[in-house]
Copies of this chain bind each other. A is one copy, B any other.
Amino acid sequence: MNARRATIADVARVAGVAASTASVVFSGKTPVSGATRDRVLAAAEQLGYTGPDPRATSLRRGRSGIVGVVIGDRLRTAFRDPVTTVMLDGLAEGVAEQGAGLLLLRDDNEGGEPSLRSAPVDAFVLVGCSGHLRESLAAIRARGIPVVVVEGDAGEGIPQIHLDNREAQAEIARHLRSLGHREVALVTLQLAATGSPGWIGADDRIAVDVTRDRLEGARDVFPAARAYAAGGSSIDEGYAAGEAVLTAPGPRPTAILAQSDLLAAGVIRAVQDAGLVVPEDISVTGFDGVQVDGVAPLTLTTMVQPAAEKGRAAGAAISAMLAGGPAPTIRLSSAFRPGNTTGPAPTARAPEGSASA
């Protein structure tokens, strides 16, 4: 209710101690006698002082305790994929360990919001690979603030957190091959930041690392597999892609490898709506291993990526850089998790005339 909020100097005066003494009572950095502590706390209580002003603290310390997370898309699109959300959750956890919080930032702000240039952050985490990424990086580097990139192609000495995408996709592809599948189709993530769906031609350029790496992994096992690029990572896009794959001319695939669990969920529904059964008629695999809403009661056969761990690793990298050390680029691995959306290839058992349990 005071016209002016109380400062630590006011508290010190009322308590009859020096400002620096009152300060340590709150920071706890130095031992203080119980008596003075009580006096200071009482004075604070009386004045309605609730602790040091974070703005002054951050100026003094040279740290704001805030890490900027640069999201390419609008929040509503960026957070549609649970893998992003889980990663962010891990990141929140990771930076919390060093006492920091997350400030959401876009890289294309027109308005007056805190931009990459003016945000009071100690470090930045770039998520994904937006179109502006490189410009964003330039702006950040100019500020001389630590940066970490999660699943993006930043290049040039910037620590990255990424995944064994190619190897992982190959692993699940081998799983399908071992089940007898030969005629498979791929449903990939976007080819570019703003990609439209369609079949991928031999000479199409794939701007998104994740998409390209996983595609290569699948082709390591099934070199001739047709690939259809979805318009994004969602169930509905997966549904559309699934329809496209099923209605395409040529032999029907016995398995469809989707590059994300959301896509796989959509593909499964498209398969079912076409009157086919998963996995008896067509096997479907996903990628991510985060809990996808809408797949129940089936359980996806997928590669589980350590999404939360990615975020935590980014937090750790930031910690290291803030401490003055170099931050290593980190490579995390995914693990195969069998579900009930894959099974033996139908052609592998149909010839015998009877299906075994």
Could you tell me which A residues sit within 8 Å of B by CB distance? 5, 48, 50-56, 58-59, 62, 64-66, 74-76, 79-80, 82, 85-86, 88-89, 92, 95-106, 109, 111-114, 117-120, 142-144, 234-236, 239-240, 262, 265-266, 269, 273, 293-297, 308
Contact = CB atoms under 8 A, between A and B. Distances in A.
Given A76-B85, A112-B96, A113-B99, A294 B104 contact: no
A84 B102 CA distance: 18
Please state the number of chain copies in the assembly: 2
B235 A120 contact: no
A295 B239 CA distance: 10
A114 B142 contact: no
B118 A96 contact: no
Given A117-B51, A293-B262, A103 B103 contact: yes
A48 B101 contact: no
A294 B267 CA distance: 11
Nearest to A84: B79
A112 B96 CA distance: 6
A196 to B, nearest CB: 17
B142 A50 contact: yes
26 contacts: A48-B142, A50-B117, A50-B143, A51-B117, A51-B118, A53-B59, A54-B120, A56-B59, A64-B120, A65-B114, A66-B103, A76-B85, A76-B88, A79-B85, A80-B85, A96-B109, A99-B113, A100-B113, A100-B114, A101-B103, A101-B104, A102-B103, A235-B296, A236-B296, A265-B294, A293-B294
B55 A75 contact: no
- Counting chain B CB atoms within 10 Å of each CB, which of A50, A86, A88, A265 scores highest? A50
- Counting chain B CB atoms within 10 Å of each CB, which of A142, A295, A296 scores highest? A296
Given A66-B114, A80-B293, 7 more contacts: A50-B143, A56-B59, A65-B120, A101-B103, A102-B103, A103-B104, A240-B296
Nearest to A5: B144
Contact of A89 (B54, B76, B120, B266): B76
B96 A75 contact: no
A265 B294 CA distance: 8
Contacts of A118: 51-52, 54, 65
Contacts of A295: 236
B294 A266 contact: yes
Given A112-B98, A113-B100, A62 B54 contact: no
A114 B55 CA distance: 12
Contacts of A55: 55, 58-59, 62, 64, 120
